[in-house]
Amino acid sequence: MKQLVLLVIFVAVGTTLSGCVSTGPAQSAVSAGEAEKITEELTQLSSPWGKVPLTKNTDHLKRIWADDFSYIMPDGTVYDKRAFLDFDDNNTYTSSGNTAFKVRVYSKNFAVTTGDMSTAGKDKDGKPFSKKSRFTNVWVRKSGKWQVVAGHASWLE
């Protein structure tokens, strides 16, 4: 009798869990054409972000970061939109940009981007540096505009 009860519990739990586990790639709720359009748009919006250390164009960031934006830096520091925009970086950059950029579209209003960001230059003391990080950004379309609501970066080197 105990074996029958255990078998029933095992089958019930297994059936329940099998409905929760994803075995394939994420399914988008948009057509392939719409997903391609969103991918192009988010790629175009992300490219200038990767160049901000060079261009110092924070106006672009003000537009693409939501008011409730939150970002976790590689050292664990959490910045909101205002704190990130007020961050004073004393480094001088000679190169900056995104590579290995990917977009995953989940719906017409939700997507996740990932990639690597490489920077090089000199620190405030004139010492050369080269850094590489990997990032994840969460995008939501609000009132017809794509905005980043959250992100995270980790050092690779």
CA distance between the termini of the chain? 58
- On whether residue 64 sits in a domain, the answer given is yes
User: Strands 110-122, 65-72: parallel, antiparallel or unpaired by DSSP?
Assistant: unpaired
Which pLDDT score, from 0 to 100, does residue 88 have? Answer: 79
Half-sphere exposure of 23 (CA within 13 A, CB side): 3
- On whether residue 55 sits in a domain, the answer given is yes
Token digits of residue 59: 């106006």
- Predicted TM-score (pTM) of this structure: 0.80
Q: What is the mean pLDDT of each run of 10 residues along the chain (157 residues)?
A: 38 36 54 96 96 92 97 96 89 95 98 97 96 97 97 93
Closest by alpha carbon to 46, among 143, 142, 135?
A: 135
- On whether residue 14 sits in a domain, the answer given is no
Please state, as a whole number, how many other Cβ atoms lie within 10 Å of the Cβ of residue 17: 9
Which pLDDT score, from 0 to 100, does residue 75 have? Answer: 94
Q: How far apart are CA 111 and CA 108, in angstroms?
A: 8
- On whether residue 9 sits in a domain, the answer given is no
Q: How far apart are CA 24 and CA 131, in angstroms?
A: 34
- On whether residue 75 sits in a domain, the answer given is yes
- On whether residue 72 sits in a domain, the answer given is yes
- On whether residue 41 sits in a domain, the answer given is yes
**Which range of residues forms the domain containing residue 76?**
25-155
- On whether residue 63 sits in a domain, the answer given is yes
* Total number of domains constituting the chain: 1
**CATH code for the domain of 54:** 3.10.450.50
8 A C-beta contact, residue 116 and residue 102 = no
